[in-house]
């Protein structure tokens, strides 16, 4: 058995640990094309997201995610009050199922067609059997994720 301690990963310019299933919400602004954006951290500590294009799913490091933001952009760190491990494990294993970015598809059972806010809700629904938004069969908006009673605000980062 190794006595070597695993080095924790932290968010840029902070002392806050990165945890699997952290949700990052990027505020409405130039770097999000004025619509906002949400991503989630997998068990491999990689960012998971859906974007326009085929396939819709993408992964990146936290450093790559930070670098695509502009100075002054706000990134809110949200953490699940329950089901975090299950959701992180599920998205790490199932990200490839999100094939098409489709804003007008409200069907939560349709994983193949999704968009960033629906994607986050689906991760919790399928991974942890947890509904993080009320009335999910409609277009989900930024505040549905940011104000979810199942996600606790941990930090607000301002990109420098």
Q: Please give the chain's pLDDT, 160 residues, in tens.
A: 444 445 679 999 999 999 999 999 998 777 776 677 899 999 999 999 999 988 999 999 999 999 999 999 999 999 999 999 999 999 999 999 999 999 888 899 999 999 999 999 999 999 999 999 988 888 898 889 999 999 999 999 999 8
Could you tell me how many residues make up the chain? 160
Is 82 within the bounds of a domain?
A: yes
Task: Name the strand (E) or helix (H) holding 130.
Answer: none
Q: Are strands 100-101 and 113-114 parallel, antiparallel or unpaired?
A: parallel
Is 47 within the bounds of a domain?
A: yes
Is 5 within the bounds of a domain?
A: no
Is 58 within the bounds of a domain?
A: yes
What are 35's two structure tokens?
Answer: 């619509």
Looking at the structure of the chain, the number of domains it has is 1
Alpha-carbon distance of 57 to 102, in angstroms, equals 12
Alpha-carbon distance of 117 to 124, in angstroms, equals 11
Domain with residue 145: its CATH number is 3.90.1720.10
Contact 89/48 with Cβ under 8 angstroms?
A: no
Is 16 within the bounds of a domain?
A: no
Domain of residue 117: give its range.
23-158
Is 126 within the bounds of a domain?
A: yes
Is 121 within the bounds of a domain?
A: yes
């Amino acid at each position: 058995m190794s006595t070597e301690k695993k080095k924790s990963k932290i968010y840029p310019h902070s002392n806050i640990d990165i945890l699997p299933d952290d949700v990052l919400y990027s505020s409405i602004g130039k770097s999000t094309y004025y619509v906002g954006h949400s991503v989630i951290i997998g068990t491999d500590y990689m960012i998971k997201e859906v974007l326009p294009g085929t396939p819709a799913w993408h992964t990146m490091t936290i450093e790559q995610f930070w670098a695509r933001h502009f100075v002054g952009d706000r990134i809110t760190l949200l953490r699940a009050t329950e089901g975090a491990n299950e959701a992180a494990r599920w998205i790490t294993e199932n990200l490839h199922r999100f094939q098409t970015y489709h804003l007008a598809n409200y069907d939560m059972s349709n994983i193949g067609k999704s968009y960033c806010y629906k994607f986050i809700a689906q991760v919790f629904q399928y991974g942890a059997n947890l509904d993080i938004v009320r009335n999910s069969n409609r277009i989900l908006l930024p505040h549905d994720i940011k104000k979810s009673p199942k996600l606790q605000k941990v930090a607000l980062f301002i990109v420098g």
